[in-house]
């Protein structure tokens, strides 16, 4: 995460492009899985890890995956609003998923940041 902050401070435009690409990915993902139960979301997140790592690279992808997923559902003004139940299922799905331990750890931290713990 610190690498991302430093890259942004150095003006690396590709970091912004990566986050835009991640948002586009998650928008499509959640459109497809909006009503999915936790077990189905967990399976889909396992596959999604490879796509997020393809956008950011392996290490950074693991670190930011849960933050970008929840960020796609969150609006700084009203918060999760209509996405609150989905966000809660996503956190549970990360825990039940076949995602790496790094992703699961990041998901626990993201749940705290987004007040879903």
Query: Total domain count for the chain?
Result: 1
Q: Which domain holds residue 80?
A: 2-113
Residues 6+ apart with CB under 8 A from 9: none
Residues 68, 23: contact at Cβ < 8 Å?
Answer: yes
Q: Identify how many contiguous H helices and E strands the chain contains and give both numbers.
A: 6, 0
Please give the pLDDT value at position 63.
Answer: 96
Q: Which two tokens stand for residue 109?
A: 């931290």
Residue 32: which region, alpha, beta or left (left: phi > 0; alpha: psi -120 to 50)? alpha
Please give the pLDDT value at position 111.
Answer: 97
Please give the pLDDT value at position 1.
Answer: 80
pLDDT in tens, the chain (117 residues): 888 999 999 999 999 999 999 999 999 999 999 999 999 999 999 999 999 999 999 999 999 999 999 999 999 999 999 999 999 999 999 999 999 999 999 999 999 999 998
């Amino acid at each position: 995460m610190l690498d991302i902050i430093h890259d942004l401070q150095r003006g690396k435009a590709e970091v912004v492009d990566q986050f835009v690409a991640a948002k586009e990915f998650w928008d499509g993902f959640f459109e497809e899985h909006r009503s999915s139960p936790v077990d189905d979301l967990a399976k889909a997140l396992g596959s999604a890890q490879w796509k997020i790592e393809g956008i950011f690279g392996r290490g950074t992808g693991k670190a930011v995956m849960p933050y970008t997923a929840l960020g796609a559902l969150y609006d700084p003004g009203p918060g999760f609003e209509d996405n609150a139940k989905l966000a809660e299922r996503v956190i549970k799905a990360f825990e039940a998923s076949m995602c790496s331990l790094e992703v699961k750890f990041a998901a626990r931290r993201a749940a705290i940041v987004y007040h879903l713990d």
